Structure 1
């Protein structure tokens, strides 16, 4: 494997975590001005429109002929469609804290699915590292006084399905990276997300006679800035980089980086919202970072040894 490509994948993985960490802040701002479904529509309209510019100018070449578009559609159904729809309905029945706790388990679900469908092997130390990063996130939420209320079983089930949807996306995108370029997968995903969310949103407003409310948020500069961040930075950039990462790195290794977003959201809350950072925030953050490092470093020696054995066998 190209070591420069792998190093770039690690840089992108950390960048993604930082972007997603800040996205919580901009999502809160956007939802003050628009309905969740309208926010998703404008978010994916912005990301699809911006990526369409280099595609239309021929700077980005896309070729879908003869490629498994059915699998690509299944990918888009998992993410963004499934993930964001399940999240929106899940949060109607459960708290955002419960969502944060359950989302932390995404690396575990990804590890299981990657082992089943991609035959990705992880060492015992890697498995323990993944659980350590998950424990770090859960520790922070529990120490804040958050917990999972089992009376909200509908919301909890839907939020757990967001983990499954994102894990499924990670595994399938890793598989499709052999047939599609990162740009091809990203453009297809964003296009499907934009079209479906727009149809559903407009149909909803048309049925209730509130089409004027659909465009009303566009008069707010704050909303437009939030949508630019969520659409162009948080959706387009992270989708491109995630699809690149999955072409270079195992799905189980990439997924654990998502827990770094918790650290970024804590930092952004402290910097911009004046939220308090306590000792348990710091302890949880150390556990998360240790888990990420362990997952990505403790399996490298074994992988390298296997590679040498393979080369000797081929020789």
Structure 2
């Protein structure tokens, strides 16, 4: 394995540890300090200012109109759809249930790659999908009788839509990552997402409890963590990983999120330990591993460009 791939693995691993920590922090902020729209606009507005300020000192790159449209679509799917639905989902279900659904992400990316990139699906991949679905169904069935969130079923359905949005983001941004620096990608992505969020979140923004006199140090620290680490650092590290790794490889690291989030959530009292959680986790993570390690006979591993290749027409 060359140095660039090692750096890519390290970047994606770090990003997903951060995303895992973000799940219980987001749950805390949404428990009374922020609304989903206020939470989203806060993240996009600050990130936009920071990345455009950083771009003043970075390499200047001209981005084609087509690529700007793709970045806008990637921002919509990977941040607005994915992150907004994450915030809403966590209002209904627990961080453990949400993070276990997140572990289905490699399965979703595999299916999207088959649909949009025509990647073949082997029997081993189908078996992995079945294992992942079995784990998710175990959570759904158990939550119907002993709900630990406000509405676990609704929360987990929203989580499925959230990870689908993020899967589309990975497929779109994989080729964009080959052509531009991370700062260029992120300054445009967050500008577009902030503009899209502004009409919906502006009214909520001023009424966030976290910005009022009643705010606490914990609430401010939580929001600061969300903006600095998952929003800015996490979204820098992920495209860096996409520059050197396949989208399906990047997605397998999302299985770190349920492990990190579950440990933290149980430790801080946001969730409780029960027998079905580790069983569901084993099923989901095993299914994801089977999916991403499977190789069909006719899969040439060339559906996405080589990290060193300068793509000329992003394939979505």
- TM range, smaller chain: 0.7 to 0.9
Counterpart-to-counterpart distance in 2, 1:54 and 1:218: 33
**Where do 1:249-264 residues align within 5 Å?**
249-264=245-260
Q: 2-side partners of 1:135 and 1:8: how far apart?
A: 34
Which residue of structure 1 lines up, in the alignment, with residue 310 of structure 2? none
Q: Is the aligned partner of 1:190 residue 2:190? A: yes
Instruction: Return closer, same or farther for 1:182/1:131 CA change in 2, 3 Å cut-off.
Output: farther
Give the CA deviation at 1:103. 4.3
**CA 1:128–1:256 in structure 2 vs 1: closer, same or farther (change >3 Å)?**
farther
Map 1:275-290 to 2 at 5 A: 276-277=272-273, 280-290=276-286
Aligned to 1:35: 35
Write the distance in 1 (CA, Å) between the matches of 2:282 and 2:164: 26
Cα 1:113–1:240 change in 2 (3 A) is same
**How far 1:63 sits from its partner (Å)?**
1.5
From the superposition, tell whether residues 212 and 44 of structure 1 become closer, same or farther in structure 2 (CA, over 3 Å): closer
- Residues 75-114 of structure 1 aligned to structure 2 (within 5 Å): 75-88=74-87, 95-96=93-94, 103-114=102-113
Secondary structure of the structure 2 residue equivalent to 1:273: coil
Aligned to 2:311: none
> In structure 2, what is the equivalent of residue 311 of structure 1?
none
**Do the aligned partners of residues 234 and 153 (structure 1) sit closer, same or farther apart at CA in structure 2, a change above 3 Å counting?**
closer
Counterparts of 1:148-163 in structure 2, within 5 Å, are 159-163=159-163
- Residue of structure 1 equivalent to 2:307: none
1:223 is aligned to 2:219: yes
CA distance in 2, matches of 1:305, 1:43: 36
Per-residue deviation, 1:177? 2.4
Once the 2 structures are TM-superposed, how far is the Cα of residue 190 of structure 1 from its aligned partner? 2.2
* Aligned 8 A contact 1:79 1:166 in 2: yes
Residue 239 (structure 1) aligned with residue 235 (structure 2): yes
Corresponding residue number in structure 1 for 2:62? 64
Q: How far off its partner does 1:261 sit?
A: 0.9
Structure (1 or 2) with the greater helix fraction: 1
Deviations 1:224-270 (A, max 9, x none): 21112111111112211221222222223322332331111111123
Specify the SS of the correspondent of 1:187: helix
- Distance in 1 between the 2:301 and 2:48 partners? 43
C-alpha separation in 1, matches of 2:301 and 2:167: 28
Bigger mean CA offset, 240-249 vs 45-54: 45-54
Are 1:119 and 2:118 counterparts?
Answer: yes
Corresponding residue pairs, total:
295
Q: After the TM superposition, which residues 258-273 of structure 1 pair with which residues of structure 2 at under 5 Å, given as runs?
A: 258-273=254-269
Shift of 1:27: 0.8
Gaps of 5+ in 2: 303-316
User: How far off is 1:76 after superposition?
Assistant: 1.3
TM-score by length of 1: 0.74
Q: Do 1:253 and 1:295's aligned partners in 2 also have CA atoms closer than 8 Å?
A: no
Specify every segment of 5 or more residues in structure 1 that has no aligned partner in the other structure, as ranges.
Answer: 307-315
Find the aligned partners of 2:296 and 2:51 in 1 and give their Cα distance.
35
TM-score of the aligned structures, taking structure 2 as reference length:
0.74
The question of whether the paired residues in 2 share the 8 Å contact of 1:137 and 1:259 is answered with no
Q: What is the CA-CA distance between 1:179 and the residue it aligns to?
A: 2.9
